Structure 1
Amino acid sequence: MAEQDLAISYARQSQLTQQSGIQQLVLAHQSELAEVANVPCFFWGSLTDPLLTSKCLLTLSKVVRSSFGPVPPSLRDPIVSAGTNQIRFEGFSSCNGVYARLDLLEDAIDGEFIASGTTNVDFNEPMLNALNAVKKTEKMVLGVGSQEVAISTDKAKVIEKKVTLPPRWIKGLTSVQLYLAGMEVQFELNKIQLIQLFQGIPKGNAKGEFYLTKRANRFIFSPIGTGDAVRIGGIQRLRLLEGLLTYADKLIVYQEKGAESAAFVADFGKMRLTLALSPDSYRGFSGEGNVLENMIKAVPDEWIHAVNGLLKSNELFDPTMLSIEHDVDFDTMDTLSASLSSIGLLGYDLHSHQHYYRRLPFKMERILALNPRLKNAKKLVATAGVQFIKNTAAYIEARVEGSGVQHTVIIQGDKQQCTCNWFTNHQGKRGLCKHILAVKMVNG
């Protein structure tokens, strides 16, 4: 069965209008979850730097309207998490190879958090055009939702805009934090170094991979990698940050331990914008490979509901403190943390090196249905499709049913392999095959 796009309908459009000399940016929102969709307003207050906020939102809009792979570009509305004195905007490029998040910190906003939650928001062309005209001296109010009471009847329902979110877009949100959590700081650039570096981005659609490296006190892009260099596939994707270079205090560069994915955090003091790049333009963050292994151990629904009732959006997730405060053993908390991250209930903040709570505005059944390999692995377990030849702490060998053939799975320490085509083609770079997953499930 083919995965279906998610259709979202907004009852109104986001607007930037002027009232009594003050700009009012009111973002229309919608969620697949009724308890979120029925909240009229999450935040209402002033922006302390309207110009910089506008520039960052326009950069986010460039990301969600771009595509660097075979998927044609189209406008994909971002999601917003409001709560714990900050607002986070998140979105993906249409190809899912670029992830962007804007964090409006406590000093960037001055207002009231009426409710806590994560929701989709409407990013339409008239609103974006108005943002582009914001001047430094203007005052601006931000509303995530409207303070006005909107009344609709069965006879007069107004649907201003419909958008669709493809499964790969939602998959990206469930997996990108797993990439970010594996990243470490490599470089920190000041404003001058940052501007000099971006002047060195190759013109046009540069082919191949480049490496960010430091020579003396200057950072450069080179086609040749050195020991401490950061690999960047699809270097032209960095141009998405060009409109922010003169505003950033510094740029912090992170790289995943596998030296493939990288992230660039533009720090403005009162807000931060993170741009994460997949290994290459033709590869997105939407593959569920990194997610699957964390979902092998089933987590009871009541655990998820308990966490949802305990934490607010954007609240830092401290598993050690939660274990101590609620008398949960550390191994159980590790399993819970991995599962929550895998289904998108946790995001990851590179600045604090911690997860934060973020309930995606999609039904849980939809998220779980995005992982066909996990579904097929569970089927193999249910039909006794796994037979162990040897099973010790150091070495596991098993025969697993395939399509008209039996596959051999070997797990030895951190190394695992299978004779199926998926493993042969990807060598573990896109997650575990269903056969290895099934063996791990049975083995507990």
Structure 2
Amino acid sequence: MTNDLAYHYSIPSTVQRIETQTNIFLSHYNEDAVKEVSCFFWGKLKEPYLTAKCLTTLSKVVRSRFALSPQEIAAMRDPIVTAGAGKMRFEAFSSCNGIYARLDILPEGLDGEFLSSGTTNVDFNEPMINALTGILKQDEVFLSVGQKEVILEKQGEQVVERKVTLPTRWIKGLTSVQLYLAEMDEVCKLTKLQTIQLFQTLPKGTIRTAYYLTMRAGKAIFTPASMDGAIMIGGLHRIRLLESLLPFIDSFSVYATPDRQASAFVLSIGALRFVFSLSADPYRGFSGEGNVLDNLTDNIPLEWIRGANHLLKANEEFNPTLFSLENDIEFETVDSLCASLSAMGLLGYDLTTRQHFYRRLPYKPERIASLNPRLKNARKLIEKEEVELLTTTPAYIEARVKGTNVWHTVLIDEQTQRCTCQWFTDHRGMRGPCKHILSVKILTENMEASSY
């Protein structure tokens, strides 16, 4: 698989200013489009100044690098935009993939027409971002995702083709981050004043050790001391990217996974929601977590994924039970499909509504499915007959799996899964299962399926 993808932007994204009216034209590209969609949305932003502030913050996240050396060149990535169901969602990761950021523009923040629904890349170039900073509170701003009029067929029209590195880390990040978000619960909700006071407790400079967010005497603080119920935040300095938005927020909600290792913050700003999620540490990008691998052991045919793409609309809430009833599909089948859709990044998660939403990724399903080497290596172990099942009961599995000049022991029960390999020793399941555990799970699931 090539590491480069040609983005065919008909024109660069631009911001045009005419007196007090500003028009934002976001050029788009979709690798997996069934047909060319000239325009997804055209209309007026009801809160243009705040939207511009949020988009500028999103661009700062994209250009941030918290785990890469200065010598590494991190090209700017183009965010993806999901348009549909009356909403617009702009999603992006930091270059190091340790921060996930999303701007949701809710229906009350838009006054326009959704000409099509779907998910697409948009050109987020530097001149356009610079122009966003010049938008004033009294300005009228119109947003176009794509061109309202198709001009590609004009004779002699130049097509801008920009070679970019395929953001495979972004795609893998989308498959992982929504599983973390779906596990999270709201820990606290702060007012604007409480949030500003919280950020005043941020230490200066780059923070090398883990810090914790905790409540003390009814006040939220960041502290280096761990205590019961505190949320661990590795690389606390990353949260400074939100400081420019604090004067405009209505509330600041804090979410965390049950183990308090991953966190997310939701800034409510009028008709906007800005989601900011951090990996456990700066050196741990969401793309490498591997928490989706357990959900990919069922080999769901790509035809099912394509079928879901035809049935589901972008930004539509995905309710597995309702989907099963409406389409006369067995609950177990929909559960497997839901797991695969999540693991392939086709389902996102909205913390405020506690619901999954559908996104039609602008990358071919075949490309997404090829991004998990541990899963591919696990299937190779089965093909080479290098997995031996010693004990298989509903409550306990013991197996031997061939490694490099050694056989590893895999133990799986109702509570835990363990392996004697170095990967498991290093990570203890914190970054998903190793290929040996995966191979045992796939083999036993295949045997159970064939027995019916």
| Structure 2 stretches lacking a partner, 5+ long | 446-452
Alignment of 1:4-403 (within 5 A): 4-19=3-18, 21-35=20-34, 38-70=36-68, 72=72, 73-152=74-153, 157-159=158-160, 161-287=162-288, 289-403=290-404
Mean CA deviation greater in 398-407 or 308-317: 398-407
Seen in structure 2, the aligned counterparts of structure 1 residues 384 and 336 have a Cα distance that, compared at 3 Å, is same
Amino acid at match of 1:35: V
CA offsets per residue over residues 239-281 of structure 1, 9 Å max, x none?
1101100111000000012211100000113110000000011
Three-state SS of the structure 2 residue aligned to 1:35 is coil
Please give the root-mean-square deviation of Cα atoms over the aligned residues, in Å: 1.7
CA distance in 1, matches of 2:161, 2:422: 47
CA offsets per residue over residues 218-248 of structure 1, 9 Å max, x none?
2111111221211111000101101100111
Question: Are 2:10 and 2:152, in contact at CA under 8 Å, matched by a contact in 1?
Answer: no
Mean CA deviation greater in 146-155 or 407-416: 146-155
Seen in structure 2, the aligned counterparts of structure 1 residues 156 and 133 have a Cα distance that, compared at 3 Å, is closer
CA distance in 2, matches of 1:174, 1:395: 29
Mean CA deviation greater in 416-425 or 65-74: 65-74
Report how far residue 26 of structure 1 moved: 0.7
Runs of 4 or more, structure 1, over 4 Å off, are 152-156
CA distance in 2, matches of 1:55, 1:224: 34
Report how far residue 213 of structure 1 moved: 1.0
Report how far residue 373 of structure 1 moved: 0.8
Three-state SS of the structure 2 residue aligned to 1:289 is coil
Amino acid at match of 1:262: S
Amino acid at match of 2:85: T
Identity between Structure 1 and Structure 2 (%): 54
CA distance in 2, matches of 1:96, 1:361: 19
Question: Are 1:12 and 1:161, in contact at CA under 8 Å, matched by a contact in 2?
Answer: no
Question: Are 1:348 and 1:355, in contact at CA under 8 Å, matched by a contact in 2?
Answer: yes
Q: TM-score, normalised by structure 1?
A: 0.96
Report how far residue 12 of structure 1 moved: 1.2
Seen in structure 2, the aligned counterparts of structure 1 residues 180 and 317 have a Cα distance that, compared at 3 Å, is same
How many aligned residue pairs are there?
A: 442
CA offsets per residue over residues 398-418 of structure 1, 9 Å max, x none?
111223322111112121111
| Structure 1 stretches lacking a partner, 5+ long | none
CA distance in 1, matches of 2:437, 2:137: 56
Three-state SS of the structure 2 residue aligned to 1:94 is coil
Report how far residue 367 of structure 1 moved: 1.0
Report how far residue 4 of structure 1 moved: 2.1
Three-state SS of the structure 1 residue aligned to 2:306 is helix
CA distance in 2, matches of 1:155, 1:122: 22
CA distance in 2, matches of 1:109, 1:115: 15
CA distance in 1, matches of 2:24, 2:68: 34
Q: TM-score, normalised by structure 2?
A: 0.94
CA distance in 2, matches of 1:295, 1:153: 45
CA distance in 2, matches of 1:350, 1:5: 33
CA offsets per residue over residues 294-340 of structure 1, 9 Å max, x none?
00011133322221111110000011111222232322222111110
